[in-house]
C-alpha cells in the first residue's frame, strides 16, 4: 500500500504551483489555444513547439506535469522551491534519474463551474499514452476526460449530508460532490487510485473526503447515502486471452453486466429521497433495444426506484471496438489492433449484440417512501445546451414532484412563465402566410427542439406570470374558434412536459 501523502508537502506543492500561476488560462496563453486542444487529444508536439526553449518555472512544470516529459533536476528544484525534488519523490509524483527528474504522474489544472461559482483544481493522474509512449498499463489511473467532465456537470447541486463516489479513480467526482455534500466516501479497487484521490484532495485543500478500498458496494455494506455518483468501469470488454483488462474501465464482467449489477444494487444504499447518478453502456441484444433492457433492470431492482435514463449515443460493434482499442493506446494497422478487433466482434456475436448505447442514468429512492412516479427513458442526440446540467436536472425533478401532486384543475389554476432561454422559430412556405412548422427551442438544459402547433405556441408566448393556464387556454380557444374543453385536454399534458423539460416554470 502506498503511504498517505503528506499534508504539509501537498500544501507546499500547491503554494509552488500557485506562485507560478499554474492555471489553465495561463498555460493556454503560454502555448496557445491550438496546443491546448491538441493536448486533450494526446498530441504534445504543438505545445512543445510553442514552449520552445523557454525555461521559466511555468514552462518547466508544464513540460514535466502536463506533457509528462523529464526535466533537469536543477530546473525543477528552482521551479518548486517549497516542495523540492525530495518532496516530489515523497509524494510519489516524480523520481530522480541522474541529473533529470522523471514524472510518475501528470498534474494538470482543471477548471470547473457550478452553482457556487467558478474555480479550478489541480488533478494528479497517471501518465497518459503520449507520456508512456505506447499502450497503457492495466492498472492505469485515468485523468479527467470527457466522460468525467460530463458526469461532474450532471451532479445535482442541491445540498446533501452524505455522498458516495464509487470507483473514484483520480477523485474528480469526489471533489465535485464535496462542493454540495458535507461528507464523501470515495471507493476504488485500486490503491493507486485511492492514493491519488487523497493527494488531489490535499493538494486542493478539500476536506471531508474519506477513501476506502474495495469493489462495487463491498466497502459500504449496510450504509446509505443521500447521493451516489459513479463513472464505473462500464466498458464492455471481451473475456478473452490477450485482451487487456484496464482497471479504470473494465469491471471484469461479461457484456454490460456491471451496469446491470450496479442498477440492481444501488437502491439499497440510497437514503429516502437519495439520488444515484452514473454513466453506462448497454447492449441491444437479440433484438431487445438497449433502453428497454435498462428499463427491465430498474423494474427488477429489489428497491423501487424513480428512473430517468438518457441515451446519448449508439455505436455499432465495430465502431465500439475501435474506440476502446484506440483508447488503450493500441494503434490501428498493427497486428495487435486486428487481434483485439476480432476478439471484440466475436464477443458481441456470441451474445447477439447489434448495437451499444451510452448514456446517463439517474435513479432516486422515492421521497417519503412513496411508490415510484418517474419512469423516463429517452434518447437525446443533439448537442447539449449552455449552463450546468446538474441544475437543470434538479429543477426537472422538483417540477416532477410538484406536478405529481397536482391534478389537471391545479395545473390549469397555475401561473407560469416561459424560460429566458426559450426561442421560437417559424418556417413558412414561400407565399404562404401561415407557418408550416413552429419550433420551440431551448438554449440551456438538453437544448431540446419541440415541434409546436399554433395553440401551444400561443400558450407559451403568453406565459408571462400574469394569467393562469386555464384563462389562457380559454382565450386561445376563442381566438382559434375551437372547443375550449377539447383544447384544454390537449394542452394540459403538454404543459406538464414543458414544465418538466424546463421550457416553462411555475411563477
Residues 173-182 pLDDT 10s = 999 999 999 9
d(CA 270, CA 274): 5
Torsion 382-387-393-399 (CA) sign: negative
Out of 47, 79, 104, a domain closes at 104
Classify residue 73: in a domain, yes or no.
yes
Classify residue 452: in a domain, yes or no.
yes
Q: Is 383 left (phi over 0), alpha (psi -120 to 50) or beta?
A: beta
Torsion 172-177-178-180 (CA) sign: positive
Residues 459-478 pLDDT 10s = 999 999 999 999 999 999 99
Residues 63-84 pLDDT 10s = 999 999 999 999 999 999 999 9
Classify residue 425: in a domain, yes or no.
yes
Classify residue 396: in a domain, yes or no.
no
Classify residue 162: in a domain, yes or no.
no
CATH number at residue 450: 3.90.930
The residue-averaged pLDDT of 230-246 equals 90
d(CA 382, CA 313): 10
Quick one: CA torsion of 61, 65, 69, 71, rounded to 10 degrees? 40
Q: Which helix (H) or strand (E) holds 276?
A: strand 270-285
Q: What is the DSSP letter of 189?
A: S
Listed in sequence order, the residues at least 6 apart from 407 whose beta carbon sits closer than 8 Å to its beta carbon are none
- Closest-CA residue to 276 (of 237, 241, 230): 230
Please identify which residue in the block is written with the cell numbers 493507486: 192
Classify residue 432: in a domain, yes or no.
yes
Classify residue 75: in a domain, yes or no.
yes
Out of 51, 74, 104, a domain closes at 104
Classify residue 242: in a domain, yes or no.
no
Residue-level pLDDT at 80: 98
pLDDT above 70 for 1: no
**Contact predicate 499/505, CB 8 Å:** yes
- Closest-CA residue to 4 (of 191, 246, 187, 280): 191
Out of 80, 104, 128, a domain closes at 104
The residue segments making up the domain with residue 502 are 402-506
First to last CA, the chain: 56
Calculate the average pLDDT of the chain: 94
What are the CA-CA distances from residue 143 to residues 66, 122, 196, 226 (Å)? 11, 11, 10, 26
d(CA 477, CA 488): 9
**Contact predicate 258/235, CB 8 Å:** no
The residue-averaged pLDDT of 435-453 equals 93
Quick one: CA torsion of 140, 262, 147, 213, rounded to 10 degrees? -40
Residue-level pLDDT at 142: 86
Please identify which residue in the block is written with the cell numbers 449552463: 387
Residues 23-74 pLDDT 10s = 999 999 999 999 989 988 888 999 999 999 999 999 999 999 999 999 999 9
pLDDT above 80 for 369: no
Number of separate domains in the chain: 2
How is 308-370 classified by DSSP, letter by letter? Answer: EEEEEEEE-HHHHHHHHHHHTTPPTTSHHHHHHHHHHHHHHHHHTEEEEEEEEEEEEPPGGGP
d(CA 297, CA 290): 11
Q: What percent of the chain has pLDDT over 90?
A: 81
* pTM for the predicted model, two decimal places: 0.93
Residues 405-430 pLDDT 10s = 999 999 999 999 999 999 999 988 88
Amino acid at each position: 500500500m502506498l503511504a498517505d501523502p503528506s499534508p504539509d508537502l501537498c500544501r507546499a506543492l500547491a503554494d509552488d504551483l500557485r506562485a507560478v500561476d499554474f492555471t489553465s488560462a495561463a498555460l493556454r496563453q503560454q502555448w496557445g489555444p491550438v496546443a491546448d486542444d491538441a493536448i486533450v487529444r494526446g498530441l504534445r508536439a504543438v505545445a512543445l513547439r510553442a514552449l520552445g526553449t523557454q525555461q521559466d518555472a511555468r514552462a518547466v512544470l508544464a513540460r514535466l506535469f502536463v506533457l509528462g516529459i523529464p526535466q533537469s533536476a536543477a530546473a525543477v528544484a528552482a521551479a518548486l522551491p517549497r516542495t523540492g525534488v525530495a518532496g516530489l519523490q515523497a509524494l510519489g509524483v516524480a523520481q530522480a534519474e541522474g541529473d533529470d527528474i522523471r514524472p510518475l504522474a501528470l498534474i494538470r489544472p482543471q477548471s470547473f463551474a457550478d452553482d457556487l461559482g467558478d474555480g479550478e483544481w489541480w488533478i494528479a493522474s497517471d501518465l497518459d499514452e503520449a507520456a508512456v509512449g505506447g499502450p497503457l498499463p492495466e492498472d492505469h489511473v485515468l485523468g479527467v476526460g470527457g466522460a468525467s467532465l460530463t458526469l461532474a456537470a450532471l451532479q445535482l447541486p442541491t445540498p446533501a449530508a452524505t455522498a458516495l463516489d464509487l470507483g473514484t479513480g483520480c477523485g474528480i467526482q469526489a471533489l465535485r460532490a464535496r462542493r454540495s455534500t458535507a461528507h464523501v466516501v470515495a471507493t476504488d479497487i485500486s490503491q493507486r487510485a485511492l492514493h491519488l484521490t487523497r493527494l488531489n484532495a490535499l493538494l486542493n485543500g478539500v476536506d471531508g473526503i474519506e477513501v476506502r478500498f474495495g469493489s462495487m458496494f463491498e466497502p459500504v455494506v449496510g450504509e446509505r447515502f443521500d447521493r451516489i455518483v459513479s463513472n464505473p468501469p462500464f466498458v464492455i470488454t471481451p473475456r478473452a486471452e490477450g485482451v487487456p483488462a484496464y482497471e479504470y474501465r473494465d469491471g471484469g464482467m461479461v457484456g454490460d453486466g456491471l451496469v446491470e449489477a450496479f442498477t440492481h444494487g444501488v437502491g439499497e444504499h440510497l437514503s429516502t429521497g437519495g439520488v444515484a447518478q452514473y454513466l453506462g453502456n448497454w447492449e441491444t441484444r437479440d433484438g431487445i433495444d438497449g433502453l428497454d433492457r435498462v428499463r427491465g433492470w430498474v423494474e427488477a431492482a429489489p428497491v423501487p426506484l424513480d428512473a430517468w435514463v438518457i441515451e446519448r449515443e449508439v455505436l455499432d460493434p465495430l465502431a465500439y471496438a475501435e474506440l476502446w482499442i484506440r483508447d488503450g493506446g493500441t494503434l490501428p494497422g498493427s497486428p495487435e489492433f486486428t487481434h483485439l478487433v476480432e476478439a471484440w466482434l466475436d464477443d458481441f456475436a456470441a451474445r447477439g449484440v447489434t448495437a451499444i448505447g451510452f448514456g446517463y442514468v439517474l435513479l432516486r429512492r422515492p421521497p417519503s417512501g412513496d411508490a415510484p412516479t418517474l419512469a423516463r427513458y429517452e434518447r437525446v442526440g443533439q448537442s447539449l445546451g449552455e449552463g450546468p446540467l446538474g441544475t437543470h436536472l434538479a429543477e426537472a425533478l422538483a417540477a416532477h414532484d410538484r406536478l405529481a401532486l397536482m391534478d389537471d384543475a391545479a395545473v390549469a389554476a397555475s401561473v407560469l412563465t416561459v424560460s429566458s432561454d426559450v426561442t421560437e422559430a417559424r418556417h413558412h412556405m414561400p407565399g404562404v402566410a401561415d407557418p408550416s412548422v413552429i419550433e420551440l427551442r431551448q438554449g440551456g438544459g438538453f437544448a431540446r427542439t419541440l415541434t409546436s402547433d399554433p395553440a401551444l405556441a400561443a400558450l407559451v408566448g403568453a406565459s408571462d406570470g400574469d394569467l393562469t393556464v386555464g384563462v389562457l387556454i380559454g382565450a386561445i380557444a376563442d381566438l382559434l374558434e375551437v372547443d375550449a374543453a377539447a383544447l384544454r385536454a390537449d394542452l394540459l399534458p403538454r404543459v406538464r412536459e414543458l414544465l418538466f423539460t424546463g421550457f416553462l416554470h411555475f411563477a
